[in-house]
């Protein structure tokens, strides 16, 4: 699948502040950038830095008053769906060292508080079969509701409320997977058909010797997701972080199949 991506961010910065942008599609073996163009109206030169795990890149900018960023890209997605139920288990002690941070609790994914639930509800399952069951549980037990959560909502809060947006679905699935011994990380992404159109958040689970994208909202599949960045939770994958105050004027995200 080929996707056209068009993003516009229009903010007013209170005074002057550093801005960290994370909106560029990542290059990778499973997605190819045919073209991309990032334009940021900043009083100082931009500075690019690598994203978490070397996936994608962040961009430092300086905001002063009116701040606008525009991003356009065409991306070809090369990955194909995988049947999780056929993926085998890897003992934790034999997993690659880069998976270790994604086995541990983080600020918004309190996996240690969900271990009892996973053991009770999914005991006897591991790896692919467990990932399949956890994804289905989150999809079936949460209700997608815009405005139902905030930037401080954690996986445990979503588990109690049983509703949220894509960020909350991703946090809960990641926390449950980690509680079950599956390395899991959050992923910011672009996808067509997201309602309302916006930046999207999904999970990525390490099973069967590799990372696999999962969207528990069921709005997208691995075959039409464009990975932007990865991290422990939403803290690491925010599309824009302002080290100061800012007011949103307008923001649009359009993802169209070609």
Q: Which of 184, 183, 180 is nearest to 123 (CA)?
A: 180
Mention every residue, 6+ apart, whose C-beta is less than 8 A from residue 205.
131, 177, 182, 183, 184, 211, 212, 214
Q: What is the pLDDT of residues 142-187, one digit of tens each?
A: 999 988 898 899 999 999 999 999 999 999 999 999 999 999 999 9
Model confidence band, residue 85 (pLDDT cutoffs 50, 70, 90): confident
User: Could you tell me if 95 and 221 lie in one domain?
Assistant: yes
218-249 pLDDT tens trace? 999 999 999 999 999 999 999 999 999 999 99
Same domain, 101 and 66: no
**Distances from the Cα of 20 to the Cα of 28, 95, 103, angstroms:** 22, 32, 27
What's the pLDDT at 84? 85
Nearest Cα residue to 231 out of 199, 200, 176, 187: 187
Structure token digits, residue 232: 């422990």
d(CA 17, CA 242): 7
Q: Do 225 and 102 lie in a common domain?
A: yes
CATH number for 166: 3.10.620.30
Radius of gyration of the chain from Cα atoms? 18
CATH of the domain at 58: 2.60.40.2250
Task: Output the CA torsion 37→42→45→49 (10° steps).
Answer: -60
Chain length of the chain: 258
Q: Is the pLDDT of residue 131 over 90?
A: yes
Phi, psi torsion values for 80, nearest 5 degrees: -120, 155
Same structural domain, 106 and 220: yes
If asked whether residues 169 and 104 sit together in one domain, one would say yes
HSE of 164, CA atoms in CB hemisphere, 13 A: 30
Q: Provide the token pair at 3.
A: 């996707």
pLDDT above 70 covers a percentage of the chain that reads 100
pTM to 2 decimal places: 0.96
Residues 248, 163, single domain; the answer is no
Residues 18 and 103 in one domain: no
Query: Are residues 60 and 95 both part of a single domain?
Result: no
Which one, of 26, 212, 177, 29, lies nearest residue 103 by Cα?
Answer: 177
> Domain residues for 6?
2-77+239-257
198 pLDDT band (50/70/90 cuts)? Answer: very high
Average pLDDT over residues 196-215: 95
128 and 152 part of one domain: yes
Q: Domain check: are 102 and 220 in the same one?
A: yes
Is the pLDDT at 88 greater than 90? The verdict is: no
Q: Distance between CA 232 and CA 186 in Å, rounded?
A: 6
Q: Are 41 and 102 part of one and the same domain?
A: no
The pLDDT of residue 209 is 92
Q: Looking at residue 237, what is its pLDDT?
A: 96
Give the least confident one: 12-21, 44-53, 79-88, 129-138. Answer: 79-88
What is the structure's pLDDT at 111?
98
Please determine, for residue 87, whether its predicted confidence score (pLDDT) is greater than 90. Answer: no
| For residues 32-48, average pLDDT | 94
Q: Do 184 and 202 share a domain, yes or no?
A: yes
Q: Return the residue matching tokens 């290059």.
A: 27
Site of tokens 């960023």: 69
Alpha helices in the chain (DSSP H): 115-122, 127-141, 155-161, 166-179, 234-237
- If one counts the domains in the chain, the total is 2
């Amino acid at each position: 699948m080929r996707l056209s991506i068009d993003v516009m961010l229009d903010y007013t910065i209170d005074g002057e502040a550093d801005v960290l942008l994370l909106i560029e599609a990542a290059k990778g073996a499973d997605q190819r950038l045919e073209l991309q163009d990032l334009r940021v109206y900043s009083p100082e030169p931009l500075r690019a830095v690598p994203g978490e795990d070397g996936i994608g890149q962040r961009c430092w900018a300086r905001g002063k008053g009116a701040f606008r960023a525009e991003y356009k890209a065409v991306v070809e997605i090369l990955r194909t769906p995988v049947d999780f139920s056929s993926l085998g288990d890897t003992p934790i002690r034999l997993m690659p060292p880069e998976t270790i941070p994604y086995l541990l609790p983080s600020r918004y994914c309190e996996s240690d508080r969900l271990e009892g639930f996973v053991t009770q509800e999914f005991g006897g399952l591991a790896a692919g079969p467990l990932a399949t069951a956890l994804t289905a549980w989150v999809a079936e037990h949460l209700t997608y509701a815009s405005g139902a959560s905030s930037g401080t909502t954690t996986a445990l809060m979503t588990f109690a409320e049983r509703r949220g947006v894509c960020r909350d679905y991703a946090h809960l699935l990641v926390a449950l997977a980690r509680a079950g011994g599956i390395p899991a990380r959050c992923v910011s992404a672009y996808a067509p058909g997201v309602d309302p159109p916006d930046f999207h958040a999904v999970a990525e689970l390490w099973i069967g010797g590799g990372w696999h994208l999962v969207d528990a909202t069921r709005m997208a599949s691995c075959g039409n997701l464009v990975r932007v960045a990865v991290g422990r939770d939403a803290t690491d994958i925010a599309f824009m972080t302002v080290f100061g105050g800012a007011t949103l004027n307008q923001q649009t995200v359009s993802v169209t199949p070609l």
